[in-house]
Amino acid sequence: MNTNRRSFILARRVIQQRLADRRTLALMVVVPVVLLSFMGLLIRNEPGKLVVGIVNEDQGISIAGATFNLGDRMLAVLDGFEEFDSQSMTAAEARRKLDAGDADAVITVGDGFTQQVIETNRLALVVEFEGSNPMISDRLTKLLERVALQAANVAAVAGSPMPTANTPNTANTTGVETTIESRYVHGGADYDTLDYMAPAMIGFFVFFFVFLLTCISFLRERVAGTLERLQATPIRPREIIVGYMLGFLLFGLLQGAVMLLFTVFVLDIHYAGNLINIFLVEMLLVALSVNLGIFLSTFAQNEFQVLQFMPLIVVSQGLLGGMIWQVEDMPGWLQPVSRVMPLTYANEALRDVMIKGESLLDVWGLVLILIGYAVLFVLLAARTAGRAKI
Amino acid sequence: MTAAIEAHDIHKKFPNGPYALRGLSLSVRRGEIYGLLGPNGAGKSTLIRVIAGLHSPDSGQVQVLDHTMPDKNVLARVGYMTQASALYTDLTVWQNVAFFAGLMGCRDKSAIEAAIEFVGLLDRKNSLIGTLSGGMRQRVSLASVLPHQPDLILLDEPTVGVDPQLRFQFWDHFRQMAARGITLLVSSHVMDEAERCDRLGFMRMGQLIAEGTAAELRDRAGTNDLERAFLHFAEEKGVDNHEH
């Protein structure tokens, strides 16, 4: 018998083994297609409209007997951008919307705006960014530079002695110098994508490792027969679960602390949060990860099958959980899928706590949802831990 | 004194299981070694699991040390050793024994040490289970049901896959434990182990078909061989010898 033949015999055995596990086979084909389509949708997805408010306090000036108010014309300029959902509002409204995160940026046009532009040949756009997502702020800044140019153009046309046709022009041929004066509710001009992603990544890795380790530990407990022995001792299912949670909490928090220190001090991300709040959110995350791991271990007969949970449970939450792409910007039918995932809420809570420096009371809604998930998974895990042999 | 185990008319059926218990009654006296003998699939493990409170019977009643099962509290006075050596392979001998002892409410280091010494593994107490042979693991399994000084030990095929020499040692251990007043319920499908039990129960297809000392059973069957005695009672019951 030659080597090739022996290799063929081995290959046949490998194929027979794989064919015996139909679930793995199906997942090998289905999972990549599903994940690829998610990625395609997310990457090619048109980002949602940017909410830009304008507070117009401009008095205008009179030119050749007519009143010219540049502030009034700004709204028309903004409306010309299909990327914007532009809204006129009062200063108080603007404040409220920015603080609530309902507006991405607000342009404030002061009372002497027109006069200043005409007299000084300088147009300074005063913009306050919501700022918690640096990617949005970047996109806005680029668009607002074009807005300033078009406004300068309008002003130049109005201010020139011989009015010509009002054609928007992106090239600065007007002689009016434009600047953007930026202010930020959260973060700042030097915030980048990493600042946005780091809080979610800390949550993601804690979830990933704690879930995987619990799932495999509990699977082994069941397969090796130690679970049966535990059940023949006075320990109760809920005590088993609490024990698992306490054990993994140590490692989850340690991992979270290391990641936090590394991102803050080595990667130099901006951080406005309170360590205690971050740890409290992480504790919830560890609790729900442990219990989800215990529960799902029921559906695996070996470690291979635990690995199948990776794309299904872990990668999908990495893509759709709002770590990289904002849930609000996803296609409408995909958003409910994101809204089912516990990591979506954990990411949002961690981000609010770390970037915006909010307290747990500020994010109580998210914390409540996370507690809800933890309780649900505890109940499911308790059933798993109490059940005799599978 | 009441019996250590009192099982009355136990019925247990699994939805897809190959075996069940069909109206089984059993009484194990305190301080005796009771041997449960029967072929694979006779329902021995199921019966032991019902006694250990792992399964609730469909009907019938089990009392263990005067407590109706399932009762978590009485389990602290029971030891349960399974077929597979259910241990944590990534922990040491000491850590494994101490873990199960702890769950039983025993934190006494000298008791843990004594248990490991009893099975002759004191020099390996810091070895990882993963590095031990099958026979050694089985001994660790036995050691882990000892430190809390149970009144009753349930042993589900404790000598499966154990070499003859070690099997002999195990039965010495069982005899010593019984001498200390511990009740033992031991299941086996090996007939020669039966000689060392105080009393025997022959199990077949979820029922107890005969009960008594080895000598009594041989006499009643009119043979001097336990294996033949088993076949005799099986035929008497009118069930054929081929399970399925």
Mean pLDDT of chain A: 83
Q: What is the mean pLDDT of residues A325-348?
A: 85
Domain map of chain A by residue range?
A: 50-184, 192-385
Of chain B, the percentage scoring pLDDT greater than 70 comes to 95
- What pLDDT is recorded for position B152? 92
Q: What is the mean pLDDT of residues B50-61?
A: 86
- What pLDDT is recorded for position B154? 93
Residue range A50-184, CATH number: 3.40.1710
- What pLDDT is recorded for position B80? 92
Pick the more confident residue, A4 or A160. Answer: A4
Mutation target vs B (from A213, A220, A222, A233; most B CBs, 10 A cutoff): A233
Rounded to a whole number of angstroms, the distance from the CA of A230 to the nearest CA of chain B is 8
**pLDDT over 90 at B97, yes or no:** yes
Residue A325 to residue B98: CA distance in whole angstroms: 49
**Cβ–Cβ gap A225/B86 under 8 Å:** yes
**Cβ–Cβ gap A229/B86 under 8 Å:** yes
CA-closest candidate to residue A138, choices A149, A122, A150, A127: A127
**pLDDT over 70 at A81, yes or no:** yes
Q: By CA distance, what is A233's nearest residue in B?
A: B75
**pLDDT over 90 at A21, yes or no:** no
Q: Name the architecture of domain B3-237.
A: 3-Layer(aba) Sandwich (3.40)
Residue A132 to residue A269: CA distance in whole angstroms: 13
Q: How confident is the model at residue A369 (pLDDT cuts 50, 70, 90)?
A: very high
**Cβ–Cβ gap B80/A388 under 8 Å:** no
pLDDT in tens, A142-151: 888 888 888 8
**Cβ–Cβ gap B80/A229 under 8 Å:** yes
Which range, A220-224, B2-6, B97-101, has the best average confidence (pLDDT)? B97-101
Tell me which chain A residues have a C-beta less than 8 angstroms from the C-beta of B89: 224
Domain map of chain B by residue range?
A: 3-237
DSSP per residue over B84-101, as a string? S----TTSBHHHHHHHHH
Tell me which chain A residues have a C-beta less than 8 angstroms from the C-beta of B104: 233-234
Assess B87–A contact: CB distance below 8 Å, yes or no: yes
**Cβ–Cβ gap B80/A235 under 8 Å:** no
Assess B75–A contact: CB distance below 8 Å, yes or no: yes
Q: How confident is the model at residue A376 (pLDDT cuts 50, 70, 90)?
A: very high
pLDDT in tens, B108-149: 899 999 899 888 889 999 999 989 988 888 889 989 998 988
**Cβ–Cβ gap A234/B73 under 8 Å:** yes
Residue A33 to residue A39: CA distance in whole angstroms: 10
Residue A338 to residue A292: CA distance in whole angstroms: 17
Closest CB from A226, A232, A388 relative to B88: A226
Q: What is the mean pLDDT of residues A251-257?
A: 87
pLDDT in tens, A266-275: 888 877 777 7
**Cβ–Cβ gap B80/A230 under 8 Å:** no
- What pLDDT is recorded for position B244? 40
Considering only CB atoms, which residues of chain A are within 8 Å of chain B?
Answer: 224-226, 228-236, 388-389
**pLDDT over 70 at A159, yes or no:** no
Q: Are A195 and A269 in contact (CB under 8 A)?
A: yes
Q: How confident is the model at residue A173 (pLDDT cuts 50, 70, 90)?
A: low
